[in-house]
Amino acid sequence: MSRILTGIQSSGRPHLGNILGAIKPAIDLSKQPGNESFLFIADLHSLTTIKDGDQRREFIRAVAATWLAFGLDTEKNTFWRQSRVAEHTELCWYLNCFTPFPMLNNATSFKEKSDKYSAVNAGLFVYPVLQAADILLYDAEIIPVGKDQRQHIEMTRDIASAFNHQYNDEVFVLPEARIDDRLMTIPGIDGQKMSKSYNNYIDLFLPENELWKVIKKIKSDSTPLEEPKNPDTDITFQLYSLLASDEQVAEMRRLYEGGNYGYGMAKKALYELILDRFATERERFNYYMHENPDALEAELQAGEEKARAVAKQTIQRVREKLGFN
Ligand code: ADP
Ligand code: TRP
């Protein structure tokens, strides 16, 4: 049995890149028989950048609804909001006192963020310590994350080792990052990496007319309609290939290379494919977001209970070592 844990910041509505690059792979991993997954919404981490309460509520709900829409089994796994389990912040404080200042000061993500934001708050500085608390609280063994998070998992291991060493006991499990190099970077509608920060993303859950407006904006070259087109350099084709069956992709390639097939037609095909492929997910997202928000809340509250039960045991173990019990 492997214990897998990962957190997703609630810093926006998840887009196609987040879904194919992080959410779907984590759900697939959670379905493997030997695995038990702890998946949480890192809403405390989002406070380092987002201050508006209404916006936060909206993003938390949208992130939760996305995981449920994509079929996360909340009976088998544990799914919760970080902010509702106070042990995360409690452990974060304890760990702060075992974290060398230079380690945080040299962290790549902190350097990048402090260059990007004009006002740098202390939350950004101790961000990796809260992340270490998230992981160590649940004795997690495997942490599936993107490449940019490798250093944070290394820091978690360092902090846990320092603590274990101080008390000469295996208080914390040392986690390992799992970085799947096969996962590809999903391109945005302008061809750069799809990202909230570049405003080039596809939100799968938009109403049909708005979704079509976004798809229509996908960048293409100016090859005239009647001429053959190169599918391998075209963003619409790349996105289509990520979602279509092998036969559909082969047929689309034939259309591109045959001429008399315009980019507008390809975009229409992509739009229809999205509606078809994600019909169930769109419906379920809508159900949790709009038709029955109480069902969403009930799922999260049940998850919080399960998470808290595990977190309390770890905190007890830690308090004992520290002399706070
Ligand atoms: P964003 O760039 O939109 O702010 P985040 O940095 O919050 O996205 O990423 C959340 C998760 O989604 C991470 O695990 C990240 O690796 C994944 N992800 C984000 N954008 C993409 C993309 N374009 N392709 C693949 N995975 C992505
Ligand atoms: N920092 C992670 C990110 O931005 C989110 C996160 C918070 C996380 N706590 C975590 C990821 C614990 C893995 C484990 O993607």
**Residue 79, strand partner residues:** 39
Give the tens place of pLDDT for each residue, 135-179: 999 999 999 998 889 999 999 999 999 999 999 999 999 999 999
- In this predicted structure, the answer to whether residue 85 has a pLDDT above a threshold of 90 is yes
Helices 122-136 and 87-96, interaxial angle, to 10°? 110
pLDDT in tens, 96-118: 999 999 999 999 999 998 888 88
Would you say residue 6 has pLDDT above 90? yes
pLDDT of residue 182: 79
267 is a catalytic site residue: no
Q: Tell the CATH topology of 2-185+293-322.
A: Rossmann fold (3.40.50)
Q: Is 134 in the pocket of ligand 2 (CB under 6 A)?
A: yes
Write phi, then psi, for 213 (nearest 5 degrees).
-60, -40
The model carries a pTM of 0.95
What rounded mean pLDDT belongs to the chain?
96
Cβ(149) to ligand 2 under 6 A?
yes
Question: What per-residue confidence (pLDDT) applies to 306?
Answer: 98
CATH class, range 208-277: mainly alpha
Instruction: Show me where the domains of the chain are located.
Output: 2-185+293-322, 208-277
**What are the distances in angstroms from CA 29 to CA 16, 23, 56, 110, 147?**
19, 10, 28, 30, 18
Structure tokens at 33: 């028989």
Check if 219 is active-site. no
CA dist., res. 128 & res. 137, Å (int): 14
pLDDT tens per residue across span 262-295: 999 999 999 999 999 999 999 999 999 999 999 9
Q: Catalytic: 196?
A: yes
Does ligand 2 have an atom closer than 6 angstroms to the CB of 282?
no
Do 6 and 180 meet the contact criterion of CB atoms below 8 Å apart?
no
